[in-house]
Amino acid sequence: MVLEGEDVSSEIRTQEVANAASKVAAFPRVREALLRRQRAFRELPGLIADGRDMGTVVFPDAPVKIFLDASADERAHRRMRQLQEKGFDVNFERLLSEIKERDDRDRNRAVAPLVPAADALVLDSTELNIEQVIEKALQYAREKLAVA
């Protein structure tokens, strides 16, 4: 992920950023300002957008929408492995609690709650490896774009 010419891929994938984003997303004025900026990135031939409301709020007219999900337990295990690979000492129970808290906060917020778009593929990756997820996502995208 490049933001204003700088690679911020690792910085935006921290648990602190995820929790902060969830809290800030509850403020309508902040969301409105971000929405304009996010939509400005949409240019041909298109983009792949990652976020909890990309298919419902930011890009509701996107031709392909995938709501990628997994159980909270599996997401906590995956996140723990990522952090451990970077040398961080991680408490699984704390991480799981933070993920559940964020999910609850996002699902129950008044503005743009976390829900899949009506026309999105809901892809539960709990029992899938990365290759299987990519294959299912690509197959779905190819089918949708062939019809569009």
Domains of the chain: 2-147 (3.40.50.300)
pLDDT at 148: 54
> DSSP secondary structure string, 5-73?
TEE-TTGGGSHHHHHHHHHHTT-HHHHHHHHHHHHHT--TT-----STTIIIII-TT-S--EEEE--HH
Average pLDDT over residues 121-142: 97
pLDDT digit string (tens) for 64-96?
999 999 999 999 999 999 999 989 899 999 999
Average of per-residue pLDDT values in the chain: 88
pTM summary value: 0.76
Query: Hey, which residues does 68 pair with through a beta bridge?
Result: 123
